[in-house]
Structure 1
Amino acid sequence: MRRVFFGLEIPAEIKDRLLQVRAEVTGASWQSVEQMHLTLLFLGNIEEALLLAAREAARDISLAAFELNIVGLGCFGQPRAPKHLWAGVESEAPVIGLHSAIKNQVERLGIQTERRTFRPHLTLARFNRQPDSVEHLLTEYRETMFGSFQVDEFVLFESQPGPVGSVYRVLERYSL
């Protein structure tokens, strides 16, 4: 069994801008620069045979490259007691289209995927303990443009436990 997901890599210069958001917020576990990505579809722990089939199926996806803007901050949960702090994306339609194409391909293989609505975002922090409010961050960075980049590929990542959080390893790249 391997823990895998499809996602987008984020250019280094955008990651550097996102790192500037870090603040002293009680309860925040901040993503490292190596962990920053945009998850397209989480598959979870799957058997090797299904993983090979999913890799093959993803090669059949044929979509156009697109421009993606990383803009503003938001949170899951209430700003006074957040569960996740994230950076948003503009031009959601092509990201949602790519998510749907991958999801359709892997579900035909019998792989179960999440049923909740896909909301493209980049997780910046998770909150485990009683967190401080992030209202000040949401206000300060509400419309900040962190950067824009051409999405011309998506990636299959393997997630492995590490000493200070998950380590993501690229298994395969797929051109758009």
Structure 2
Amino acid sequence: MPRVFFGVEIPSEVKKRLLALKTPINGARWQSRNQLHMTLVFIGSVKDEDLDTLSYVASLVSMPAFEVEVTGLGAFGRPEHPRNLWAGVSPEAPVAELYGQLSAQVAAAGFETEHRGFRPHITVSRFRKQAASIVSLLEEHGQDRFGVLPVTEFVLFGSAPGAGGSVYTVIERFPLQPPLDETDQPDQI
């Protein structure tokens, strides 16, 4: 049974800036270029026949494309003993709307989703239990700007274990609507 989740791919230039953060920190497992993404809805293991249902419900999401800036760093867990180092996005509202629509469709189709609060982020590193502090890293780079992330689509990813951590593959892409260009406003009567 494949493990799957919905997410957003990250542009190469943003990945390059995030990967430049990699420093020797005891217990850190830095994400590779191919692992960097923004998770929207994690599903977990599903039967092969459920992939069609997930594709269908994802196709029901309807919202315009948008841009966010990848900016700032934070940690899940205390910075002295972190579980994850992440980069944030701003503004969070359009990502939260996309998450809300998608998670509602997935739940309505009968799939279990995570019940913890949604915080849009890109995981940069995961840490083992005895990880060293990242306080100085957060002080030095906590306000950094890593670039613009155009969100024109979201993706159904497959996840499989690999020698260097999880390996993600794109199963299907779901385009968002083109943003309404101010020059394309409907005629006023």
- Whole-Å separation in 2 of the counterparts to 1:28 and 1:158: 24
1:70–1:147 Cα contact (<8 Å) kept: yes
Percent identical among aligned pairs is 48
Give the aligned partner of residue 53 of structure 1: 53
Superposition RMSD on alpha carbons, in Å?
0.8
> What is the number of residues matched between the two proteins?
176
- Whole-Å separation in 2 of the counterparts to 1:164 and 1:141: 25
2:69–2:90 Cα contact (<8 Å) kept: yes
Residues 37-70 of structure 1, C-alpha deviations (whole Å, 9 max, x = no match)? 0000000001122221011111111101111110
The code of the aligned residue for 2:112 comes to Q
Determine which structure has the larger strand proportion and give its number: 1
The code of the aligned residue for 2:115 comes to R
1:66–1:94 Cα contact (<8 Å) kept: yes
Q: Secondary structure at the match of 1:13?
A: helix
1:88–1:122 Cα contact (<8 Å) kept: yes
Find the structure with the greater CA-based Rg: 2
TM-score, length basis structure 1? 0.98
Deviation at 1:149, TM superposition (A): 2.5
- Whole-Å separation in 1 of the counterparts to 2:150 and 2:168: 22
The code of the aligned residue for 1:34 comes to N
- Whole-Å separation in 2 of the counterparts to 1:127 and 1:161: 17
Give the aligned partner of residue 86 of structure 2: 86
Unpaired stretches in structure 1, ≥5 consecutive residues = none
Deviation at 1:86, TM superposition (A): 0.5
Give the aligned partner of residue 62 of structure 1: 62
1:38–1:121 Cα contact (<8 Å) kept: yes
The code of the aligned residue for 1:128 comes to R
